[in-house]
């Protein structure tokens, strides 16, 4: 009996698979459009904006650490960093413990920009959640957490 239940539980119909793929594609497209709008609104290329957002969690970052977190090569990160330095959004500081290492941190102007972007994110996410009743919000958040976990599990199979 338990084995039969488990079999039914993992059975995925072609319709479910197609619907899942379609919804993921639409969500991804929606996120891409928001990111493009965000880049235009804050007058920063997407890569520079994503790089800056990494500083929300850290006071200092290294170019190598940024390259790892953004999953791009270090030479690409150098161009992104140079662009942000020219715009006075981040600054380069020598590591006091090892002068060979450059640390990067937000400038005052960079902190202001990050706060504006975070306020924009809060506003957009607030509007999305306001579109649904409270109980559906709770269900959505639980299901998104489940989706995230499932996607992370599937990602581990790719390595």
Token pair 């640390």 is at which residue? Answer: 103
- What's the pLDDT at 97? 86
Confidence (pTM): 0.81
- What's the pLDDT at 110? 97
Which among 30, 29, 72 has a CA at the least distance from the CA of 50? 72
Q: Which residues of the chain have pLDDT under 70?
A: 1-9
- What's the pLDDT at 66? 95
- What's the pLDDT at 44? 96
Please check whether residue 66 is in contact with residue 54, taking contact to mean a CB–CB distance below 8 angstroms. yes
- What's the pLDDT at 2? 54
- What's the pLDDT at 17? 94
- What's the pLDDT at 3? 55
Fold of 23-158: Arc Repressor Mutant, subunit A (1.10.10)
- What's the pLDDT at 137? 96
What distance in Å separates the CA atoms of residue 156 and residue 159, rounded to the nearest whole number?
6
For the chain, the structural domain boundaries read 23-158
């Amino acid at each position: 009996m338990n084995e039969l239940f488990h079999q039914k539980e993992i059975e995925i119909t072609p319709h479910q698979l197609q619907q899942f793929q379609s919804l993921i594609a639409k969500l991804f497209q929606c996120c891409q459009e928001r990111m493009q709008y965000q880049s235009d609104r804050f007058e920063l290329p997407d890569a520079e904006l994503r790089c800056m957002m990494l500083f929300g969690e850290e006071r200092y970052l290294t170019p190598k650490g940024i390259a790892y977190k953004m999953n791009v090569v270090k030479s690409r990160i150098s161009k992104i960093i140079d662009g942000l330095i020219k715009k006075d959004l981040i600054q380069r500081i020598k590591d006091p413990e090892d002068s060979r290492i450059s640390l990067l941190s937000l400038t005052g102007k960079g902190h202001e920009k990050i706060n504006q972007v975070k306020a924009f994110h809060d506003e957009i996410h607030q509007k999305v959640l306001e579109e649904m009743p409270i109980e559906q919000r709770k269900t959505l958040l639980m299901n998104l957490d489940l989706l995230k976990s499932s996607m992370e599990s599937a990602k581990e199979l790719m390595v």
